[in-house]
Amino acid sequence: MVHSGIYIHIPYCKRKCTYCNFHFSTQFNTLKALLEALHTEIMNRALEIPDILVDTIYFGGGTPSVLSPTHIESLLHTVYSRYPVQPCAEITLECNPDDLNREYLQDLHSIGINRLSIGIQSFSDRDLQWMNRAHNANQSKEALTLAAATGFDNISCDLIFGIPGATDTEWLQHLGILYDNGVPHISCYALTVEEMTLLEHRIRHQQMPALSEEDSIRQMLLMFDSMTHHGYEAYEISNYCLPGHRAVHNSNYWKGLPYLGFGPSAHSYYGNTRRWNLSNNQLYSDAVKNGKLYYESETLTRRDRFNEFLMINLRRIEGIRIAELEQDFEEYARDTLLELNRLQSEGLIAVNEESYTLTKEGKLLSDSVIRNLFQI
């Protein structure tokens, strides 16, 4: 059996958040054709991974909660009709708080969604307006209460730190609301300036100052201590959970298990091949419908796989296992160990008998530490 994940990309959002460069559209007129294409793609690729066993199904976006429960259930049926899915599979839906009313949550629960990933981002209405989010802080609090009352006990929430004007006290308060609600999994991201976003446009045209790296670093350090204090394990650099609540879907990505991604812009990985679908709703739907090519692919080289191994493992709590490095990437092991030891002397890497991990200081500089180790 080849344990695998399924990712379904729902490329629609009610609004364009100021910082976001994901693939989505706020025009819903292509939805019907896109759903038809999704069903077709899911059905057509059933034999792509021989002997597949699906452990996880993940609806990501965009905003999957813009779909009706009927649409989601129908997509799940298509998956179940073509793929063997574990009876206890983790089935996650990314959702935004403004979509989570009582009836919608009950419907999600009854069609088999057993994990919610809620895009809260902040509990400050000032931040939410600045980010152009479609929800307010009260809707987020209400959504958490309703989700728990509906029986969802596997919930993840996204928060953003380093937002201009947000104080350290506010940041700790936002985390505190999640602790108080018993949210078992929290993903935290520093606000970053991505190309082709309103945020990047505003900074480039001097309509606002550049983001403060100092604020971001300080709030990240506060978060490390606060999460530890409240019993959350930092099992990946951006992901924290109470014991037993790691996200199976993402953990399987990080373990290098195969996954099939359906929908525009979705990525798939199997063997040494990575492929990605067209990032355009209309072009994707037309191509799938007409049997034309709707994706590009690449074969990963040894060097690509090594760099990915470094990047994924250094972000994880387990770090780089020395035995795995020496066994799987013998040709790069000696140089990498030398560089890891040098980074250890700078306090960025910690080492024990089995593995190398990022220190707290290393996590603050993770991108450059990892880039240092890359083979180019």
Q: Which residues sit at the interface with ligand SF4, rule CB under 6 A?
A: 13, 16-17, 20, 22, 24, 61-63, 96, 119
Cα–Cα dist 101/98, whole Å? 8
Q: Which CB sits closer to ligand SF4, 22 or 224?
A: 22
The two three-digit tokens of residue 229, written as one number: 């204090």
Contacts of 280 (CB under 8 A, 6+ apart): 264
Q: Which CB sits closer to ligand SF4, 4 or 63?
A: 63
CB of 308 to ligand SF4, least distance (A): 24
Q: Which CB sits closer to ligand SF4, 22 or 374?
A: 22
CB of 22 to ligand SF4, least distance (A): 4
CB of 17 to ligand SF4, least distance (A): 3
Cα–Cα dist 171/146, whole Å? 23
Are residues 268 and 275 in contact, defined by beta-carbon separation less than 8 angstroms? yes
CB of 96 to ligand SF4, least distance (A): 6
Q: Which CB sits closer to ligand SF4, 160 or 369?
A: 160
CB of 254 to ligand SF4, least distance (A): 22
Q: Which CB sits closer to ligand SF4, 13 or 234?
A: 13
Cα–Cα dist 372/307, whole Å? 11
Q: Which CB sits closer to ligand SF4, 250 or 357?
A: 250
Q: Which CB sits closer to ligand SF4, 12 or 83?
A: 12
Cα–Cα dist 285/35, whole Å? 8
Nearest CA-CA partner of 163 in 134, 195, 127: 127
Cα–Cα dist 370/357, whole Å? 11
CB of 60 to ligand SF4, least distance (A): 9
Cα–Cα dist 260/286, whole Å? 20
Cα–Cα dist 242/50, whole Å? 35
CB of 31 to ligand SF4, least distance (A): 15
CB of 94 to ligand SF4, least distance (A): 8
Q: Which CB sits closer to ligand SF4, 194 or 354?
A: 194
